[in-house]
Amino acid sequence: MPSLKAIRKRISSVQSTQKITRAMKMVAGAKLNRAQQRIVELRPYATKTQQILASIVVEPNPKPPPRELLEGAYAEAGWGEQPAHPLLADRPEKRLLLVVITSDRGLCGAFNTNINKRAEREWRERAAAGQEPKLVIIGRKGRDYMTRRGAPILEHLPGVWDKIDLETAQRVGKAILAPFDRKEVDAIYLVYNEFKSAMSQQVVVERLLPVSPPIPPAPPIPPAPPTPHADAAGGADELIYEPNEAALLERLVPMYVDVSILRALYESQASFFGAQMTAMDAATKNAKEMINALTLQYNKARQAAITKELMEIIGGSEALKE
Which residues are tagged catalytic?
A: 108
* Rg of the chain, C-alpha, whole Å: 30
Count Cβ atoms within 10 A of the Cβ of residue 298 and give its class: 0-12 exposed, 13-18 middle, 19 or more buried. Answer: middle
DSSP character string of 253-322 = HHHHHHHHHHHHHHHHHHHHHHHHHHHHHHHHHHHHHHHHHHHHHHHHHHHHHHHHHHHHHHHHHHHHH-
Q: Which of 229, 232, 233, 136 minimizes the C-alpha distance to 175?
A: 136
Alpha helices in 103-244 (DSSP H): 111-128, 140-148, 166-181, 228-233
User: If you ran DSSP here, which 8-state letter would residue 221 be given?
Assistant: P
Q: What SS3 state is found at 117? A: helix
- Alpha carbon distance 170, 22 (integer Å): 36
- Alpha carbon distance 100, 146 (integer Å): 10
User: Is the peptide bond prior to 225 cis by the omega test (within 30 degrees of 0)?
Assistant: no
- Alpha carbon distance 17, 284 (integer Å): 8
